Structure 1
Amino acid sequence: MMARVASWIAVALFWLLHWLPLGAQARIGAAVGELLYRFAGRRRHIVNVNLRLCFPAMDEVERARIARAHFRALGRSMLERGLLWWASEERLKGMIRLEGREHVDALIAAGRPVLLLAPHFLGLDMGGARFAMEFDSVSVYARQNNPVFDHWLFHGRSRFGDQLLLSRQDGVRGTVKAMKAGRPFYYLPDMDYGREDSIFVPFFGVPAATITGLSRLSRLARAAVVPVVTEMLPGGKGYVTRLGEPWANFPTDDVEGDTLRMNQWIESVVRTMPEQYYWVHRRFKTRPPGEKRPY
C-alpha cells in the first residue's frame, strides 16, 4: 500500500514539473542525478564497472567525470518523462527535432519494411514519442512490476498515432507481420537478456551476451535497418532524433558477423556522447562458461 502511495506521489510530482520550462526541468533533473550519484551506491558501482571494462585506457579521473555526467543526464531523463505523459504534441515537437525522416519515407514509399535500430541512450523514449508523431509503428513493451508506473509508461508509449505495442511473449510473428504491413519496428536489442537467443560477441572488446534479433528479424521481414539515436542537448535545449541511412549489405548469411556489426556501430555512437548511454544496466552480467561476473 505504501509503495502504491509513493508511486502516485512521484507521478503527481512529474505532473507538476512538466509545466515548467524545459531548462528549469533540466536543472532540477541534474540535481536529482547528483543525489543519485552520491547515494545510489549499487547503481554507481555498476556504472563504474561498465566504464572500466569499456574504457580501460581511460584514466580514473575521466571515467569519474563521465559517471557523474551520466547520473545528471539520467536524472533529467527520469523527470522529463512527465513531458511524454502530458505535454502537448505541439510542445514536444518544438523540443524534439527530427532529422533524416526522408530515409524512412523513401523505404515506405518503395514498399520496404523498416526496422529501426534504437540503442539504449537516455533520450530513447523522447525519440520514440517523436517518431510516433510521424509514423504508426510497432514496438515491444515490457510490462512493469509497479502497476502505477506501468499505466503511465504504457500511456506515454501509445498516446500519439496508432501504435502497436507487443509483449516479448508474443514472439516474432506479430512483429514481422506488422513490419510487412507497413509499420516501422522501433527495436531495442542492446541489453543483456540472458543466454536464450544470445551469442557472445565483443562490445568494447568485452564478450557480451547479445541477442541476434536484428539480423534474424531483418531477414524474416526483408526489412531495411535504419539506425536511430536521440541525443539529449545540454542546458535544457531539447533533443534531436537522428535517423540514419539504411544499412547496406544487411543482413548477411553470417548472423554473428551481423551482430558484431551492430555492436561496433553502437560503440561508435557511444564514443561521441559516452555520458548518455544507459550504463546503469548490467550489460556484462551473463558471462561465458567459467568466467566470473564483474559486478
Structure 2
Amino acid sequence: MARFASALLYATAAALGRLPWPVLNRIGDGLAALWRRLDARESHVARVNLEIAYPEALPAEREEWHREILRTTARQFLETLRFWTRPHRDNLALITRTTGVELFDAALASDRGVIVAAPHYGNWELLNQWLAWRTPISVLYRPPESKVGEAFLRRVRADSADRVTQVRADGPAAVRQLLKLLKGGGVAGILPDQQPKVGDGEFVPFFGMDALTMTLMGRLAARTGATVLFAWCERIGAGPEFALHVEAAPAAVADPDPVVATTALNAAVERIARRDPAQYQWTYKRWRWRPVGSNEPNPYEREGT
C-alpha cells in the first residue's frame, strides 16, 4: 500500500515538475499569499523565528522579510519537486557559479573521510545531487512518521547510478554506519541545523538564543579525523540559477568538548543564514525545545492553544 501511495505522490510531483518555471513561481507566490492570509503554520513559525533572530530589526523590516521568506519557501517546495523528478544533469546545469570546489576535491583526495555540513539554506536537495555527481555519498536523514512519506523520500532522493546511500537517523546503528564509512575514506552529508532528540544534543546560542544542537557531527569528526566542509546552493539572479559554495569548517566543530563544538557549528550556520534571510528555512521550529529547568515556554505555542 505504501509503495502504491508513494508512486502516486511521485506521479503528482512529476506532473507539477513539468510545468514551466514561470508557472511554478506563480503557483508558489499564490501559496505564500494564502499562508499569510490564513496565518498558517508556516507563516506563524516564520514570524516567531524572525522576532527571535532579529530583535533589533524594525517591525516593517521583519514584515518584509516574512513576506519574502514565505514566497521563497513556497517556490522552493515546487522547485524541489521538479529537481526530484527531472534528470539530474538538467538540474545541475542550473548551477552556473561555484566557489571552493577545490576544497572538496582536496578532501576527497586525502582519503581521510569527508563530512559535508549542509545547512537548510538555498536548495539543499540540488546540493545533494551535485555531491552524488562528484562522488558516492551517504546522507543522514530523519525518516517521516508516515511510511508513505518515507517511501517517497527514499525514491526521489535516490541516484540512478546508486551513488546515494540514505542512512536513517536511528541512534547507535546510524552512528556505527557513519563511523565505518568515514574511517574508510567515505563521504557523509549531514543537515547540521536539524534539531536532534532531547538528550542527543547541547543547548548553545543560535542567533542569540539557546537552541538544541546536534553533537553527532562533532563526535564523528573528532573520532575519525574526517575533513568537515560546509556547502550550500544559493539562488542567484531572477531566474532558476544557483551558485554552489564550499568552505572549510572552523576547526572547533571537531573539538572533543561538545559545547565548544556545537557553539562553533551554530556560529558557522548562522553566518551562512545571514547571507540572505529569505533563503534560510525559517519555517522550521528551531527553538521548540527549551533547556530543562529553564521554565521557558515553547515560543511557537499560540495564545489559547
TM-score, normalised to structure 2's length? 0.87
2:185 aligned to 177, 182, 187, which one? 182
Q: Give the match's secondary structure for 2:261.
A: helix
CA apart distance, 1:280: 1.3
Query: Unpaired segments of 5 or more residues in structure 2?
Result: 301-305
Q: Which whole-Å CA distance do the structure 2 matches of 1:262 and 1:225 have between them?
A: 11
Q: Which whole-Å CA distance do the structure 1 matches of 2:38 and 2:7 have between them?
A: 23
User: Aligned in 2, Cα 1:180/1:12: closer, same or farther, shift over 3 Å?
Assistant: same
List aligned pairs for 1:1-295, cutoff 5 A.
Answer: 11-97=10-96, 98-161=98-161, 162-169=163-170, 170-248=173-251, 251-288=254-291, 289=293, 290-295=295-300
Q: Which whole-Å CA distance do the structure 1 matches of 2:218 and 2:61 have between them?
A: 35
Q: Which whole-Å CA distance do the structure 1 matches of 2:182 and 2:20 have between them?
A: 37
Q: Which whole-Å CA distance do the structure 1 matches of 2:141 and 2:257 have between them?
A: 29
Q: Which whole-Å CA distance do the structure 2 matches of 1:115 and 1:216 have between them?
A: 11
Q: Which whole-Å CA distance do the structure 1 matches of 2:39 and 2:133 have between them?
A: 35
Contact persistence 2:45–2:285 (CA under 8 A)? yes
Post-superposition Cα deviations, 1:177-198, rounded to whole Å, max 9, x if no partner, equal: 1122232111112132242121
Post-superposition Cα deviations, 1:132-178, rounded to whole Å, max 9, x if no partner, equal: 11110111133223444433321221124421111112231101111
TM-score, normalised to structure 1's length? 0.90
Q: Give the match's secondary structure for 1:231.
A: strand
User: Aligned in 2, Cα 1:279/1:239: closer, same or farther, shift over 3 Å?
Assistant: same
Contact persistence 2:92–2:129 (CA under 8 A)? no
Post-superposition Cα deviations, 1:8-48, rounded to whole Å, max 9, x if no partner, equal: 77644432232234344233323322222323523311111
CA RMSD between the two structures: 2.3
Post-superposition Cα deviations, 1:216-274, rounded to whole Å, max 9, x if no partner, equal: 11011111110112212343332222111354465234321121111111111111111
Contact persistence 2:14–2:86 (CA under 8 A)? no
Q: Which whole-Å CA distance do the structure 2 matches of 1:139 and 1:103 have between them?
A: 20
Q: Give the match's secondary structure for 2:134.
A: coil
Residue 303 (structure 2) aligns with: none
Q: Which whole-Å CA distance do the structure 1 matches of 2:252 and 2:195 have between them?
A: 26
Q: Which whole-Å CA distance do the structure 1 matches of 2:17 and 2:160 have between them?
A: 18
Contact persistence 1:23–1:237 (CA under 8 A)? no
Contact persistence 1:224–1:247 (CA under 8 A)? no
Q: How many residues align?
A: 292
Q: Which whole-Å CA distance do the structure 1 matches of 2:117 and 2:74 have between them?
A: 24
Q: Which whole-Å CA distance do the structure 2 matches of 1:100 and 1:219 have between them?
A: 23
Contact persistence 1:218–1:225 (CA under 8 A)? yes
Q: Give the match's secondary structure for 1:202.
A: strand
Q: Which whole-Å CA distance do the structure 1 matches of 2:121 and 2:22 have between them?
A: 20
Contact persistence 2:108–2:114 (CA under 8 A)? yes
Q: Give the match's secondary structure for 2:248.
A: coil
Contact persistence 1:227–1:245 (CA under 8 A)? yes
Contact persistence 1:14–1:81 (CA under 8 A)? no
Contact persistence 2:124–2:233 (CA under 8 A)? yes
Counterpart code for 1:206: M
Counterpart code for 2:79: E
- Percent of matched pairs sharing the same residue: 28
Q: Which whole-Å CA distance do the structure 2 matches of 1:18 and 1:224 have between them?
A: 36
Contact persistence 2:115–2:187 (CA under 8 A)? yes
